[in-house]
Amino acid sequence: MPKLYLVPNSINETSAISGIDKVNYSEIKDVRVFFVEEPKSARRLLKSLNAQFPFGECRFFDLNEHSNPKQIQEYAKILKEEDCAIISEAGCPCVADPGADLVFLAHQDQIEVIPLVGPSSILLALMASGLNGQNFAFYGYLPKDRQERSQKIKMLEDRSLKEKQAQLFMETPYRNQSLLEDILAAAQDKTLLCIACDITGPHQIIKTMSIKEWKKHPLNIDKKPALFLLQKI
């Protein structure tokens, strides 16, 4: 029976190849069908693991936010033919990234799903935050409308206190500074905020402070990848 491998990609392009990456490559060295969020980053990963990777023998299929249910149903048919792999643009497939729908169909067809070890910006940020790693929730992207976003921030703040739960969320890099401004305006002074910026990159910043302290020491994260973790205490 064919297998479906879930292959993490490096979070930062400057990250060095690790022993984990080499172990992963031993698992997928014979795979020739890849469902990828972004072909360029997938090819870069495979080439970094093997400079002579036989791309001419491979088939790459886009699997991203634009993939529709009909496409994914067609992809599921391919899973029955031979070993395949899903490669995220960065981090782990299916975790704040596309891929879960195809994995679900693989389970329905009794295809073995094999997750490989690799970096997850969500877990790395949570590990380093000092906030509650025993009880947390990831919300993805908050509303684009600033009024709705401020209301959502207050709701997450209240829920964090009620559930004793760290609240994680993110934004596209070019809107990060605007989101940070809204967090500082909406949240209460004693609420804790962790900003995890450029994780594993050369300019990594992971810092947890109260909203009051963040207001005194503002941070410029414009156009930089970041995760936000909020917990009211």
Domain end point (choices 70, 94, 115): 115
* Average pLDDT of the segment spanning 149-177: 97
As a whole number of angstroms, the distance between CA 220 and CA 183 comes to 14
Judge if 125 and 209 occupy the same domain: yes
Q: Is pLDDT at 153 greater than 90 in this prediction?
A: yes
Domain end point (choices 73, 97, 115): 115
Beta strands 84-87; 3-7: pairing state = parallel
Confidence of residue 21 (pLDDT cuts 50, 70, 90): confident
- What percent of the chain has pLDDT above 90? 85
Judge if 82 and 136 occupy the same domain: no
Judge if 125 and 141 occupy the same domain: yes
Query: Where is average pLDDT lowest: 8-22, 30-44, 74-88?
Result: 8-22
Question: Mean pLDDT over all residues of the chain?
Answer: 93
Judge if 128 and 78 occupy the same domain: no
Give me the domain span that covers residue 99: 3-115
Q: Is pLDDT at 201 greater than 60 in this prediction?
A: yes
pLDDT value of position 1: 86
Judge if 154 and 199 occupy the same domain: yes
pLDDT value of position 123: 95
Judge if 132 and 109 occupy the same domain: no
Domain end point (choices 115, 136, 158): 115
Overall number of domains in the chain: 2
Contact 199, 13 (CB under 8 A): no
Judge if 159 and 98 occupy the same domain: no
CATH number for the domain including 111? Answer: 3.40.1010.10
Judge if 53 and 75 occupy the same domain: yes
* Average pLDDT of the segment spanning 181-191: 97
Q: Is pLDDT at 19 greater than 60 in this prediction?
A: no
Contact 151, 43 (CB under 8 A): no
Q: Is pLDDT at 98 greater than 60 in this prediction?
A: yes
pLDDT value of position 14: 63
CATH number for the domain including 148? Answer: 3.30.950.10
pLDDT value of position 16: 52
Judge if 52 and 138 occupy the same domain: no
* Average pLDDT of the segment spanning 151-179: 96
Contact 149, 182 (CB under 8 A): yes
Judge if 69 and 155 occupy the same domain: no
- The residues, ordered by sequence, that sit 6+ positions from 98 with a Cβ below 8 Å of its Cβ are 37, 63, 64, 65, 67, 88
